Amino acid sequence: MSLELKNVEKKVGLDTHIYSTNLRFEKNTINILLGSTLAGKTTLMQIMAGLHKPTNGEIWFNEKNVTGVAVQKRNVSMVYQQFINYPNFTVFDNIASPLKITGISSDEIKKKVIEVSDLLKLSGMLDKKPNELSGGQQQRTALARALIKDSGLILLDEPLANLDFKLREELREELPKLFENRDCIVVYATTEPSDALLIGGNTATLEEGKIVQYGKTIDVYNKPTNLVSARVFSDPPINISDVKKNGDTFSLSHDSVKWKSKSISLKDGNYKVGIRPHNITTYKEGANSIEIKGKVLISELSGSESLIHFRNSNMNWVSLSNGTHQMNVGQEAKLYMNVDEFMYFDQNNKLVSNV
């Protein structure tokens, strides 16, 4: 089982919503589409589902061309950001609804509904109507509807975005388990890098209708092929600064911050450095850390982490430290950057090294 997009393109009028895209998803994988709002995640999913026809290109499912095959004949299911359930059906009927038109006997349906509702912890709520449920339970119902069909392709379009923090964490933890041992391809769209990291699987980073990078989630995170992918896959936002390499020394262009390059065989010249916020900390980390000073703009404590925005070299920097480090706005702060985690990009934003 596989899903393949071949040169898929989507234009609406003169606007190109999806630029020519090639992707191949394999059986029993969870594939994450990671990108900001309007990056084209939803459009791409609707094309995969068959809700929209691509302007150009083909969609192959199980090595068969399914471009233009109506969604009803595709055996796909989809879960949305909004909790979409039939408003005047009970939870039971909602979950059963995809099976009802298939002509399966009602005993069989009942068995399946009970099985799926157990899996999603909805057993006690089968007689209730959707609007008597919490948001989390409504979304569980929608998920159950997607699961009961045994579809080959399950599309989840930001399913956790409308849930509050606690419910989101809870459901996110359960999600990968739900799809284990099911012969299906899962596609999961999200704007949250943390979703991708926690769920794992494969990730495709998207920006402005283009797939930037596709690979195993952890690889995409650790080795972004270019700056765009690194930026999409970083929350809080990654720090990007111009650097100059001269001999074995790198220096920030507007500041005296300098560091030795270790084993980089790069030509001298101008580069860009990407530094993830958690590699700028209030304490020294790693063997090679260097000092950076700046004026504190924002200082936030969130539970066990401290987020400090500061200004240096005409640029705003974001740092994320473990533990609580209270700083006052306006004060001069001294922070440390872990040189070993720097990622270097050339002038065309391509990764050149992240030694």
Partner 1 sequence: MNKTEYQKAWLFVIPVFILVAFNAAVPLMTVVNYSFQETFGNNVFTWEGTRWFKQILQSDRFHAALGRQFLFTGIILFIQIPLGIFIALTMPKEGIGVSVCLVLMSMPLLIPWNVVGAMWNIFALPEIGFLGHTLNDLGFDYNFTQQTGDAWFTTVLMDVWHWTSLVVLLSYAGLRSIQPAYYQAAEIDGASRWAVFRYIELPKMKKVLTIAILLRFMDSFMIYTEPFVLTGGGPGNATAFLSIDLVKMALGQFDLGPAAAMSLIYFFIVLLVCWVFYNLMMRNEEQS
* Residues at the contact surface with partner 1, assessed by CB under 8 A: 46, 49, 51, 71-72, 76-78, 80-82, 84, 86-89, 97-98, 101, 129, 131, 145
**Residue number with CB closer to partner 1 (82 or 349):** 82
Token pair, residue 235, equals 């929350």
Whichever of 87 and 330 has its CB closer to partner 1, that residue is 87
CB 85 → partner 1: shortest distance, Å? 8
Contact between residue 98 and residue 136 where contact means Cβ atoms under 8 Å apart: no
Least gap, CB of 28 to partner 1 (angstroms)? 21
CB of 158 to partner 1, least distance (A): 11
Choice between 129 and 210, CB closer to partner 1: 129
Q: C-beta of 74: minimal distance to partner 1 in Å?
A: 8
Is the CB of 53 or the CB of 295 nearer to partner 1? 53
Q: Measured from the CB of residue 34, what is the shortest distance to partner 1 in angstroms? A: 21
Query: Between 74 and 276, whose beta carbon lies closer to partner 1?
Result: 74
